[in-house]
Amino acid sequence: MTAQDLKTLWARVARATVSWQFVVPALAAVLAINWMASTSTSTMMTEIMIMALFASSLNLLMSFGHMVSFGHAAYFGLGAYGFTLAVVRGGVPPELALAIGPLAAALGGLVFGALCVRLTQIYFAMLTLACAQITYTVLFQWYDFTGGDTGITGFMIPRFGLSEKGYATAVLAVVTLCLLALWGIVKSPLGLSIRAVGQDRYRAEALGLGARRVQLVAFVIAAFFAGVAGTLYSVLHGAAFPDYAGLGITLDGLIMVVIGGLNSFAGGIWGGIIYELLATFVSKVIHEWELVLGLILLAICLVAPAGFAGVSARLRAMLGGIR
C-alpha cells in the first residue's frame, strides 16, 4: 500500500466526517414532525432528544472508554441543579445560568472522576455508584439549599416561555451541536487515546499514555454533556428534583446504550430514541411495560448483543451498502 493509499484510508477512518446525506433529512424530518404534530408530541420529542444526548454521553464512556459507570445520573442531576440553584440561590439570570449547569456537572465529573479513575472495572463502577448516591442523598436531604425531596419548582417559566414546538426546535439545535462535538472528539487524537486506554490499558501505558489521566478527561467530557442534558431537562419542566440524580436514570442510561448498540457511536442516540418511544407507547398498551423492556433486553443480550446499531449495520451490509 502506498503512502498515499494509506493517507486516504486514514482520512476515511479518522476524519470526523458527517454523513450529511443521512443527517440532514433526519433533522428535516424531526422539524417537520415537530411543526405538524400536537404539543404533547413536541414535548415527547424534546425528552427523546435530551435522553439521546444523555445516553450518548454515557456511550462515550462505555463504548469507547470501556468504562461502566453506575452513577452517570449524578451529572444529569448536577446539570439540572447547577442551573436551578444558580437562578434560585445565586440570583443569576436564567439565560446565563444555562452555562452553569453543565459546568457544575463537569466540576462534579472532575472531582468524582479523579477518585474513580484510580480504580478499574467493578470497583470503578461501585465508586461511581457511591458518588452518585452521595450526590442524590445530599440533594434529597439538604432541604434548605436544594429544596430537599420536594425539589425546586416554580422559579421560572418553563422553556423560557417558548412554546413546546419552539423549545423542541431549540433543543434539537443544541443536541445536534453537542452530538457533532462528541463525534469530533471521538475521531480526534483524544478519542483515539480514550479508545486505546479502553481496549488495553497496559499497552497504552507502556506506550507512554497515562491511563488515569485519559480516563479522567473522558469522564469529565461525559459528565459535561450529561450536564447539558440535565440543564435542558430542567428548563423543559421548569423544575429540578433529586430523582434526576437517582439510580433510575442511571439504569435507564445503561439500558439505552445497550439497546442502541454497545461499541458504536450512534448507540446512545438510537438507544435514547427507542427506549423513550417504548416507554411512551408500550406503557399505554400494557401497564407492565418494564416487563416488556426486560424481555427485550434479554433478547438483545442473547441474540443481538450489538444492539440496534449492530442490527442496522448488518441490514445495510446485507442490502449491499458499504459503510
Partner 1 sequence: MQPILSARHIRKAYGAFIALKDISFDIPRGERHALIGPNGAGKSTFIACIAGQLPGVEGEMIFKGENILALPPARLAKRGIGRTFQISRAFLHMSVLENMMAAYVIASGKWASLSGRVYAEKIDRAHAMLETVGLAERSRDTVADLSLGDRKRLEFGMALAADPDLLLLDEPTAGMSIKERHFLMEMVAERVDATGKTLIFVEHDIDVVMKIARRVTVMVRGAILAQGSPEDIKANDEVQAVYLGGGH
Partner 2 sequence: MVLIQLVNGLMEGMTLFLIASGLTLIFGVTRIINFAHGSFYMLGAFLTYELVPLIAPGTLWGFFVAVAASAAAVSALGVLFETTVLRRIYGKDGILQLIVTVALVLIIRDLVRMTWGANSVSVQMPDALMGALVVGDTYFPLFPIAIFAAGLIVVLAMIWVIYFTRAGILLRAGTDDRGMVALLGVNEKLIFTAVFAAGAFLAGLAGGLSAPYGEVNYLLDTTIIVSAFIVCVIGGLGNLYGALAGALVVGVTKAIGVMYFPRLSMVLIFLIMAAVLIARSMGRQGGPAR
Among 27, 31, 92, 138, binds partner 2 (CB under 8 A): 138
DSSP 306: T
Binding flag, residue 293, partner 2 (CB under 8 A): yes
Report in angstroms how near the CB of residue 227 gets to partner 1 at its nearest: 19
Judge contact between 242 and 139, C-beta under 8 A: yes
Region near partner 2 per CB under 8 A, out of 91-99, 190-198, 247-255, 309-317: 247-255
Report in angstroms how near the CB of residue 214 gets to partner 1 at its nearest: 7
CA distance 208 to 177: 33
DSSP 265: S
Q: How far is CA 34 from CA 42, 131, 270, in A?
A: 5, 38, 18
Binding flag, residue 243, partner 1 (CB under 8 A): no
C-beta of 82 vs 253, nearer to partner 2: 253
Region near partner 1 per CB under 8 A, out of 78-86, 189-197, 280-288, 313-321: 189-197
Residue from 192, 180, 175, 169 nearest 19 by CA: 180
Residues 29-58 that bind partner 1 (CB under 8 A): none
Could you tell me where the beta strands, DSSP code E, fall in the chain? Answer: 152-153, 239-240
Among 38, 39, 141, 150, binds partner 2 (CB under 8 A): 141
3-state secondary structure 3-36: HHHHHHHHHHHHCCCCCHHHHHHHHHHHHHHHHH
Among 103, 115, 162, 278, binds partner 2 (CB under 8 A): 115
Region near partner 2 per CB under 8 A, out of 49-57, 128-136, 152-160, 180-188: 128-136
How many residues form the binding site for partner 2 (CB under 8 A)?
A: 40
Binding flag, residue 7, partner 1 (CB under 8 A): yes
3-state secondary structure 51-78: HHHHHHHHHHHHHHCCCCCCCCHHHHHH
Binding flag, residue 317, partner 1 (CB under 8 A): no
C-beta of 134 vs 192, nearer to partner 2: 134
C-beta of 14 vs 301, nearer to partner 2: 301
Judge contact between 239 and 150, C-beta under 8 A: no
Going residue by residue from 249 to 288, which x/- string records binding to partner 1, judged by CB under 8 A?
--------------x-------------------------
Report in angstroms how near the CB of residue 50 gets to partner 1 at its nearest: 25
Going residue by residue from 204 to 233, which x/- string records binding to partner 2, judged by CB under 8 A?
-x----------------------------
Q: Which three cell numbers stand for residue 103?
A: 459546568
**For the chain, how are helix, strand and coil distributed in percent, rounded to 5?**
80, 0, 20
Q: Which residues contact 21 (CB under 8 A, 6 or more apart)?
A: none
> Radius of gyration (Cα) for the chain, nearest Å?
20
C-beta of 102 vs 272, nearer to partner 2: 272
Binding flag, residue 183, partner 1 (CB under 8 A): no
